Chain A
Amino acid sequence: MKWKKNKYKNSRDEKRCIVLLLIPAVVHLIIFWAGVQIETLKMAFTNIYTGDAWLGNFKWALEQLFAGGASNDIALAFRNTMGFFLMGILIVPVGVFFAYLIYRRSFGYSFMRIALYLPGAVSGIMMGLLYQKMMASDGPLMQLIQNLTGREMPIIMVTEHGIAYIMIYDILIGVGGNLVIWLGCMSRIPYDLIEYGKLEGIGPIKEFNKVVLPLIWPTFVTMITLQIIGIFGASGSVQLLTDGQHGTYTLSYWMYQIVKNGTTELYNYVSALGLIFTVLTLPLVFIGKWFMNRFGEEVQY
């Protein structure tokens, strides 16, 4: 089919502008996005020792994934990843509720807005280290708990409850993570609607359920969908707090550490495993989005 001449009615000057402005992003997309996808595919289908095309990497990845046994790192990492994924999903509504209370300007809302967002703005290393020192068996918090309860051993020990130890930190830090998005979303709600609800005599809980939540529902669905998209990448703060020790490996951290440690002989297996997870993610995203949309309708305002 012959392309219709000047279909888009852009002048020569505009065409020049379009091309010039597209260059940085398109070049980056070609090299660092498409290039990486091609490299991943190439590595996943190549025998690292012979350089021949083969499917052995996938076979290895599937065997690792479904093999049982306590010593199986990948199966353990898979379980941990699912735990972090569920935690990530549960944090979302808590974050929305906190944002709603700030939006309603409850006592100390300005302070809360800054304090809850702060961990995202300062160094993760600092927050992680503070948490580690605070929770250490010789740290002040454990000392306080021991004084209050009379128990000699700390309640949460990283060596015994590694995953719980990381999750507590992630919940504490993560709730305010999307505060900017939720507050932005709520600030767009027409004030008349809130006032109208008040005149009708609805309370704050009903206001949240019947007015605010339906109006921010599309964003809520988007945020949950993003969580589902990142299902196999859910990793919490494993690298920061335990470096994968004490049974806290996650899939993405396991893959990351292979590169960090320069274990080149596993690179192609990692690529194959990554592709398997990518394929598994696709239906999950659609099922998740369909499921979420059953609970609410898109509202225009």
Chain B
Amino acid sequence: MRRKTRLNYDWKARIGELKKNGIIINVLGLIPLIWSILLIFVVIWGINVALADPAWYLDHANTFFTKEFRVSNFRDAIEKLRQQVSDGAGGIRWASYLEMTFNSFWYSFGGTFMKMLSTVCFAYVVARYEFRGRKFLYAVVVAQMLLPIYGQTAANYSLLQKVNLLDSPAFLLALGAGHGMHFMITYSYFRNLSQDYISAAKIDGANALQTFAHVMVPLAKPIISALAVMNFIAYWNDYQNCIIYLKSYPTLSGALYNLQSQAFQLGLQTPTYFAGIFISIIPAAALFIIFNKQIMENVSMGGLKG
């Protein structure tokens, strides 16, 4: 029934399936289809603008399709996109595109690592062991989800300042939250794994930590990798935290947000700025393209109740 490759695609069965779906499903299905085409069209239009000759684009911003292309926009974007930051000694310096890319990488990898480490360990213990305080911890996680305290940005900023995590790579420690929706998904996954795996590992002489690291984590690899990819994409695209908490370490997303109004002052015309944005999304977009199926399938497996 499942079709893995285009070459083996069973077109006849697919057409039969569409016929079986009936006219209502096929007609209503046109709504999300048009919606999807619109979204993809906007992205393609953006690529088209990123490739436009800036001089030509200046007079043709109202056209859908570029007629004069300039691939060097991408090189120009890397050279020209930069952001002013404090040099730590009271002065200012310029952060280059490459430096911002490096910052985005360590922020996204570090954030993902911290969050996954905390979430997986926490979810496993709460799901698989009975211990004093277990119910309390679970209740805290639920309460934290059910009742978010508003207006915490100020308190968060103040706290991070007090513990010296502001404007420092050590800010990554603040990203290691083991609670939230990802906890729930991982918790439900571990909870549904058979006890036989643990028993078998015990018989083979594994201690509790070895069982966790060598048996349970590999078993949960599909859900862990799907959540890790989702986290990486989220951190890569995160600009809100970066522009407040990591002012001296501008990431691509944070800088591109800040540069929206300054692009012209830096001598960047719209196509060059677009080119810079498109280069910046490559890692997240590539991960999404490679892992979208795994994300859709595995997050559902762990998924919410229903």
Say which one of A62-70, A82-90, A127-135, A156-164 lies at the interface with B: A127-135
A107: contacting residue among B29, B151, B208, B305, CB under 8 A: B29
CA–CA, A59 to B32, complex, Å?
48
A1-27 contacts to B, CB under 8 A, are: 3, 7-11, 13-18, 20-26
B208 touches A17 (CB 8 A): yes
| Majority DSSP secondary structure for residues of A touching B | helix
Number of B interface residues, CB 8 Å? Answer: 99
Residues of chain A contacted by B303 (CB below 8 angstroms):
181, 184-185, 188
Distance of A254 from chain B, by nearest CB (Å)? 10
Q: Is B21's CB within 8 Å of the partner chain A?
A: yes
Residues of chain B contacted by A107 (CB below 8 angstroms):
18, 26, 29-30, 33
Q: Is A167's CB within 8 Å of the partner chain B?
A: no
B148 touches A271 (CB 8 A): no
A255: contacting residue among B42, B154, B209, CB under 8 A: B154
Interface 1/0s, chain B 4-28, versus A by CB < 8 A? 0000000000000110011011101
A187 touches B150 (CB 8 A): no
CA–CA, A82 to B62, complex, Å?
35
Distance of B178 from chain A, by nearest CB (Å)? 3
B61 touches A218 (CB 8 A): no
**Contacts A20-B209, A133-B270; A126 near B281 (Cβ below 8 A):** yes
A33 touches B179 (CB 8 A): yes
Distance of A150 from chain B, by nearest CB (Å)? 16
Q: Is A166's CB within 8 Å of the partner chain B?
A: no
Nearest B-chain residue to A104, judged by Cβ? B25
A171-186 contacts to B, CB under 8 A, are: 172-173, 175, 179-181, 183-185
Residues of chain A contacted by B31 (CB below 8 angstroms):
98, 101
A274 touches B152 (CB 8 A): yes
Distance of B59 from chain A, by nearest CB (Å)? 10
A24: contacting residue among B24, B137, B178, CB under 8 A: B178
B62: contacting residue among A104, A139, A180, A181, CB under 8 A: A139
**Contacts A35-B159, A102-B32, A107-B18; A258 near B154 (Cβ below 8 A):** yes
Q: Is A121's CB within 8 Å of the partner chain B?
A: yes
Q: Is B144's CB within 8 Å of the partner chain A?
A: yes
Q: Is A56's CB within 8 Å of the partner chain B?
A: no
B151 touches A203 (CB 8 A): no
Residues of chain A contacted by B222 (CB below 8 angstroms):
none
Interface 1/0s, chain A 274-290, versus B by CB < 8 A? 11011001100100000
A220-248 contacts to B, CB under 8 A, are: 220, 222, 229-230, 232-233, 239-240
Interface 1/0s, chain B 172-213, versus A by CB < 8 A? 011011110000000000000000000000000001110010
Total A-B pairs, Cβ < 8 A? 329
- Of residues B24, B121, B233, which shows the largest number of chain A Cβ atoms within 10 Å of its Cβ? B121
Distance of B266 from chain A, by nearest CB (Å)? 16
Q: Is B155's CB within 8 Å of the partner chain A?
A: yes
B277 touches A180 (CB 8 A): no
A222 touches B305 (CB 8 A): yes
Nearest B-chain residue to A108, judged by Cβ? B33
Interface 1/0s, chain A 133-154, versus B by CB < 8 A? 1101011101110000000000
Q: Is A71's CB within 8 Å of the partner chain B?
A: no
Residues of chain B contacted by A219 (CB below 8 angstroms):
304-306
A108: contacting residue among B21, B36, B63, B277, CB under 8 A: B36
Interface 1/0s, chain B 137-157, versus A by CB < 8 A? 100100011111111111111
Residues of chain B contacted by A124 (CB below 8 angstroms):
237, 239
B154 touches A25 (CB 8 A): no
Residues of chain A contacted by B71 (CB below 8 angstroms):
none
Q: What residues of chain B have their CB less than 8 Å away from a CB belonging to chain A?
A: 17-18, 21-22, 24-26, 28-33, 35-40, 42-43, 45-46, 49, 61-64, 114, 117-119, 121-122, 124-125, 129-132, 137, 140, 144-159, 163, 173-174, 176-179, 207-209, 212, 233, 236-237, 239-240, 243-244, 253, 256-257, 260, 270, 274, 277-278, 280-281, 284-285, 288, 292, 295-296, 299-301, 303-306
10 contacts across the A-B interface (CB closer than 8 A):
A8-B129, A24-B178, A28-B174, A115-B35, A121-B292, A122-B281, A122-B288, A180-B299, A260-B244, A271-B151
Q: What residues of chain A have their CB less than 8 Å away from a CB belonging to chain B?
A: 3, 7-11, 13-18, 20-26, 28-29, 31-33, 35-37, 39-40, 43, 98, 101-102, 104-109, 111-119, 121-127, 129-131, 133-134, 136, 138-140, 142-144, 172-173, 175, 179-181, 183-185, 187-188, 203-205, 215-220, 222, 229-230, 232-233, 239-240, 251-252, 255-256, 258-260, 267-268, 270-275, 277-278, 281-282, 285
* Beyond A10-B130, A25-B118, 17 extra complex contacts between A and B, CB < 8 Å: A22-B121, A28-B174, A35-B159, A36-B156, A101-B29, A115-B40, A117-B296, A125-B239, A133-B61, A134-B45, A143-B63, A185-B300, A204-B28, A270-B151, A272-B151, A277-B150, A281-B150
